[in-house]
Amino acid sequence: MTVLSPDAARSPDAPTLDVDRNFADSILAGLTASRKTIESKWLYDVEGSRLFDAITTLEEYYPTRVETGILERYAPDLAALMPPDAALVELGSGSSVKTRLVLDALPGLSAYVPIDISAAHLDVVARALSADYPEIDVQPLAADFTDRIVLPAGLAERPKLLFFPGSTIGNFDPDGALALLGRMRALPRVTGFVIGFDLIKDEGVLVRAYDDSKGVTAAFNLNLLVRINRELGANFDVDAFRHEARWNPTANRIEMHLVSRRAQTVSLLGQRIEFAMEESIHTENSHKYSVSGFRDFAAMAGWRTYATWTDAKTRFGVSVLLPD
Ligand SMILES: C[S@@+](CC[C@H](N)C(=O)[O-])C[C@H]1O[C@@H](n2cnc3c(N)ncnc32)[C@H](O)[C@@H]1O
């Protein structure tokens, strides 16, 4: 954290904010680029994590429901990959709801390390898990998993099962996903990697999953602007933007955008950001895979697919990867 006055250059009387430099630099770089973007990891402040949980309960948002069903059925099969004293390390753990299915299926686990960028939310979730699973050493790690992962002392040398549900891998473009899979492959003493990914399907089903009728996903996306106003002292008129979900058939991905309803200028950290009418900020990608495509992709990063579990309608996949 660095203390600076975000609008000091233009408003000497502006209150001083405690600004997260990583957040500020990333937002400024994204909004001053020729195609405006915001990295999707910034969707998750406390309110973003709450809204994501609300999304997972929506009828249109099938991924959580379907992946949960797959794990209910197959999680006990993971026991074969768990040597004694093993730890479960989860990337982007959110509310760790699906994790409970794995913890229940693997009573021999000694430790659980949930890693999430949404620090305050992670803290609440980890306390609840510690209370519910007193026999497991719960060691939350508030971190960006795209940075180098430094595991808590004593865990680095223990056997580890990695868990990455929620199709969060889909938020990365192919190069980013490959790099992440490669870095996980390089972690010491990993016995397996359980990873959930969404499958290519009908465009209408996909778009509805990211643009629901109750407007919860819209609120989740627009909360980015609320967060930037609060944490960086910007002056976005949130009502002057709308949420949009688009299917990009070339890249096999759903894109989330915030579209400017009119020409406008926003002030941010001493800069003036101009928006043309209908210009968008690209805020999230959710890449979709085929089962064989994901297997080939994982192989490029040095992982062998031991099993891929899908639901009966082949809407979602959970792969169990082993180090080659
Ligand atoms: C799509 S949600 C999935 C949550 C949960 N795993 C599930 O399956 O429902 C993505 C989660 O990953 C976290 N996240 C996103 N990008 C991250 C990053 N770069 N580093 C750490 N956590 C991240 C978010 O805070 C959020 O909790």
For the chain, the distance separating the N- and C-terminal CA atoms, rounded to the nearest angstrom, is 40
Query: CB atoms < 10 A from the CB of 9, how many?
Result: 12
Give CA–CA dist 269/272, Å, rounded. 8
Please report, for the chain, the start and end positions of each structural domain, with discontinuous segments joined by +: 22-232+291-324
> What does the alpha-carbon distance between residue 315 and residue 311 come to, in Å, rounded to a whole number?
6
* pLDDT recorded at residue 10: 42
168 CA → ligand 1 middle, Å: 6
Cβ atoms within 10 Å of 169's Cβ, excluding its own: 25
Q: Is 168 in the pocket of ligand 1 (CB under 6 A)?
A: yes
For the chain, residues with pLDDT lower than 70 are 1-16
d(CA 291, CA 314): 9
Q: What is the model's pLDDT at position 80?
A: 87
* Residue 16, pLDDT score: 64
Spatial separation of the C-alpha atoms in residues 39 and 172, rounded to whole Å: 10
Q: Which of 22, 23, 26, 44 to mutate to test the pocket of ligand 1 (most atoms within 8 A of CB)?
A: 44
DSSP-based helix, strand, coil % in the chain, nearest 5: 35, 25, 35
pTM: 0.94
Handedness of CA 188, 141, 178, 60 (dihedral sign): positive
In this prediction, residue 18 carries a pLDDT of: 79
Distance (angstroms) between ligand 1 centre and the Cα of 270 equals: 31
| Per-residue pLDDT tens over the stretch 91-125 | 999 999 999 999 999 989 999 999 999 999 999 99
Q: Which ligand 1 atom lies nearest to the CA of residue 95?
A: 5
Tell me which residue has tokens 């997260």: 20
* CATH fold group of domain 22-232+291-324: Rossmann fold (3.40.50)
